[in-house]
Amino acid sequence: MSKITENNTEWVSAQNIGELAEKFGTRLKGGGAHQSKTMMLKELENLLASETTDDPGVRKLIIEENILGKSTEKTRLLTFRHLNSLYGIEAMPPISKALFALWPLEPEARPLLALLCALARDPLLRDSASAIFEAPVGEPVKWPKIAEVFDTIHPGRFSEKMLRSLSQNCASTWTQSGHLVGSMKKLRARISPTPNVAAFAALIAANCGFGGPVLLTSTWLRVLDVSAERALDLLRQAEARGLARVRSAGDVTEISVRKPMATMLGVEDLV
């Protein structure tokens, strides 16, 4: 039975005890790609543009056939490993199948879809989130602030050099998603999620044990920079697209995403 570490309690419900989340494709412990890479949005876009993710030889395509145009065999191997760690391109757990099914529907949603999957798959990226959430819009977010978060959660785990690299990589990922803007000086920005993004966030939250009104205030929905009321509105819009089911009666709100998305996207093991 999986146990939830203290720094996962915001992301996984205690009632879930991690089993459903892990089966879905969420990784609850260990390191992640952000120790040496960002969320690799460009590589993911190029990979999915090649329409090869259903091919059982995706490893061969990246490493041997070099469809991503990397200069050395070592780089191609590392690229495959990091993409597989972040997005499950080889084992294809349910979260990956949902991501890839949603990908072509809204090009503007892709950075946030990728971020949500990367958050689910990289515990260290999740650790960095509080530094982003707590920064007011327009305020600078420097890598040492993210490093402070890592050092608080994992005292003594990382060298000074690794802390800097890890924090800068996470800052780059949050820039790719739109939560930060700027090159040298990164400022907190507010993102504008689409209904499809809200549905994907709700799907991950549901598989991490959150339901009803609690789902709307979960950390997964907090990633979207919206209030619970706005999140509910986005999910109602997603319902119109067949990606969610929302029912309200008095103070009771029922939100279902697994079955609607499984039916709409043709991904049976979301249920």
Assigned domain for 23 exists: no
Assigned domain for 215 exists: yes
Regions of the chain with pLDDT less than 50: 1-6
pLDDT tens-digit profile of 122-144? 999 999 999 999 999 999 999 99
pLDDT at 253: 87
Assigned domain for 16 exists: no
Assigned domain for 3 exists: no
User: First and final CA of the chain: distance in angstroms?
Assistant: 21
Assigned domain for 230 exists: yes
Q: Are residues 175 and 138 in the same domain?
A: yes
Question: What DSSP designation does 243 have?
Answer: S
pLDDT at 188: 98
Helix (H) or strand (E) holding 259: helix 258-265
Domain-terminating residue out of 188, 203, 232:
188
Structure tokens at 206: 């549901």
| Burial track 126-144 (b if 16+ CB lie within 10 A, e otherwise) | bbbbbbbeebeeeeebebe
Q: Are residues 226 and 168 in the same domain?
A: no
For residue 248, give the 3-state DSSP assignment. Answer: strand
Assigned domain for 2 exists: no
Q: Are residues 213 and 256 in the same domain?
A: yes
CB-based contact 262:247 (threshold 8 Å): no
Assigned domain for 32 exists: yes
Domain assignment of residue 37, given as a range: 28-121
Question: What DSSP designation does 29 have?
Answer: S
| pTM for the predicted model, two decimal places | 0.94
Structural domains counted in the chain: 3
Q: Are residues 71 and 128 in the same domain?
A: no
Q: Are residues 41 and 116 in the same domain?
A: yes
Q: Are residues 32 and 115 in the same domain?
A: yes
pLDDT at 7: 54
Here the CATH number for the domain that contains residue 201 is: 1.10.10.10
